[in-house]
Amino acid sequence: MDHSTSAEQPAEPVPPDFPAFAVSRGRHLLRTAFLLTGGDAHLAEDLLQEALGRIFVKWRRISRLDNPSGYAQTVLVNTFLSYRRRRSSSERVTDTLPDIAVDGPDPTLRLTLLRALGELPAQDRAVLVLRFWEDRSVEETAAALRLSSTAVRSRSSRALARMRATLGDTGGRTTTDPTGRKAVLGRVL
């Protein structure tokens, strides 16, 4: 008896290759993880690795979604937030930075921004990164973090006020670039 189902059901499309997805989105996800961790490159790499591991396990289902990249971003943020809740996350990066060349218009502002991000509570930092680096709407951010839109707005306002207090005068710069899309996070990093 032939149990072949090829005549009964159409063949399921082959999902995109996970390694190709990881290569194409990995750099962007790493940069987001770097921002979430307040500039800790090693922790960002660890978070990305853990998030990609979680995605890989469910890749066949995730690859069929309309936006697997958005799902990956949400997994990364949730991985970061769960890491922050763990007791072992109390380790802090020292103030001593290695001497490395920095490409960019204002390395001092970049370091100050990363330090200010690092001082924010984890959820406030996640709100700022999603809203202003990832350029997500309030509703998208609320859905990703499982918060209400009101909570996202209040956290965003409170976190921006703390960032402004830490950063002080930015030399007349506005919080958005000329196109109005990305905040100072995008321009500095």
The pLDDT confidence band at residue 138, using thresholds 50, 70 and 90, is very high
> Which of 3-7, 89-93, 99-103 shows the lowest mean pLDDT across its residues?
3-7
- CA-based nearest residue to 187, from 70, 76, 109: 109
User: What's the confidence (pLDDT) of residue 178?
Assistant: 43
Does residue 182 register a pLDDT over 80? no
C-alpha to C-alpha distance for 2 and 130, rounded to whole angstroms = 52
- 3: confidence class by pLDDT, cuts 50, 70, 90: low
Q: pLDDT tens for residues 54-69?
A: 999 888 888 888 888 8
How confident is the model at residue 171, as a pLDDT?
44
Lowest mean pLDDT among 29-43, 71-85, 169-183: 169-183
Confidence of residue 84 (pLDDT cuts 50, 70, 90): confident
State if pTM tops 0.85.
no
The residue among 103, 97, 111, 93 whose CA lies nearest residue 167 is 111
Between 1-10, 40-49, 69-78, 105-114, the lowest mean confidence (pLDDT) is in: 1-10
Angle at 45 between CA 40 and CA 49, to 5 degrees: 150
Exposure of 175 in the CB half-sphere (CA atoms within 13 A): 12
Q: What is the mean pLDDT of residues 72-76?
A: 92
CA distances from 131 to 49, 64, 76, 117, 184 (A): 23, 26, 15, 14, 12
